[in-house]
Structure 1
Amino acid sequence: MTEIHSTLSRRQMLGLAGTGLALIAVPALAAAPAMITWRDPGCGCCTKWVEAMRKAGFAVTMRETGDMATVKSRLKVLAALQSCHTTVVGGLVVEGHVPAAAIRSLLARRPKGVLGIAAPGMPRGSPGMEMPDGSKDPLNLTLFDGVGNTRAFA
């Protein structure tokens, strides 16, 4: 509620409440949890992915580090699943160029035992990796548990 007060006056809030729109405005603000994304400062596609997530409604904080290996190790991202950037959102790990719709689905379902989701490598055509000619690689999203078990994200 403090977030709404900082952008709307009390009079505006009362006016919205009278129309029923206040009930719509509150869930929209809470629709997507905040993300923290770690990236190497030399990688440009990470910034493009973050822009896509922001456009999809996520609030993203970027942290730059020259030691992505330590970030990935701490967050238990298997070597076979690694990409260029690593994100934490809603207590889950997102590795690489995972689309916003898949992240929202994972956050809504929260399958038992899942630590995160990965788009291994840097698939062409994925968010942040769009190609001028429109070419795309298959996007194989993988769920992982942090101890070596993986399965395809359906």
Structure 2
Amino acid sequence: MLKNLMMLAVGPALLLVPGMGTAAERPAGVMYKNPGCECCDGHAEALRRAGLDLRVVASDNLADLKTRAGVPARLQGCHTILIGGHAVEGHVPVAAIQRLLAQKRAVRGIALPGMPAGSPGMGGAKAAPFKVMSFGAQGTQIFAVE
């Protein structure tokens, strides 16, 4: 089921990320978010400004989607992006998403736990470097510090 959901999410559209190869190699992403969540909309807009092709879908059943995508409960945030066969959870900076897609690492996805101030879509100033976590069969590990 997850494979089918991810195939729908990353279909034939293109992801416009500088340095990510040819247009035919670039997947599109779909952000699933709670209806009315403005911080999610802010994150989507920040990612689009950075060149990501991102569609936003409001959903009242995010828990099931997150479970199917393999997002550990302790890393779950307010929205999930399915892109390039991966799940991106929460307000992950675009550089980490670009790195994930470019490296084609064998992880289920990456997450920025919490909703830290200064992250894309969140107000306020960045108080400390963000620890972006990877998750999958290898467990949970630090993917990037930004």
Task: Please report the TM-score for the alignment, with normalisation by the length of structure 1.
Answer: 0.74
Structure 1 pair 71/148, CA: closer, same or farther in 2 (3 Å)? farther
> What's 1:8 paired with?
none
Kindly indicate whether residue 81 of structure 2 is the aligned counterpart of residue 60 of structure 1.
Answer: no
1:44 to 34, 38, 42: 38
| Residue number among 85, 98, 106 corresponding to 2:100 in the alignment | 106
More strand by percentage: 2
Whether the 8 Å CA contact 2:117–2:127 is kept in 1: the answer is yes
Counterpart secondary structure, 1:152: strand
Unaligned runs of 5+ in 2: 1-12, 14-20
Partners of 1:137 and 1:66 lie apart in 2 by 32
Cα 1:51–1:31 change in 2 (3 A) is: farther
Asked if the contact 1:31–1:57 (Cα under 8 Å) also holds between the matched residues in 2, the reply is no
Matches within 5 A, 1:1-154: 29=23, 32-112=26-106, 114-131=107-124, 134-145=125-136, 147=137, 149-154=139-144
| 1:76 to partner: Cα distance | 1.1
Moved over 6 A (4+): none
Partner of 1:19: none
CA deviation after TM superposition for structure 1 residue 42, in Å: 2.6
SS at match of 1:36: strand
Are the structure 2 counterparts of residues 45 and 137 from structure 1 closer, same or farther at C-alpha, using a change threshold of 3 Å?
farther
User: Superposition RMSD on alpha carbons, in Å?
Assistant: 2.1
Mark the structure with the bigger radius of gyration.
1
Q: Distance in 2 between matches of 1:148 and 1:29?
A: 31
Percent identical pairs in the alignment equals 44
From the two aligned structures, give the one with the greater helix fraction. 1
Deviation at 1:66, TM superposition (A): 1.1
CA distance in 2, matches of 1:148, 1:79: 16
Q: Deviations 1:30-49 (Å, cap 9, x if unpaired)?
A: 68531100000131100000
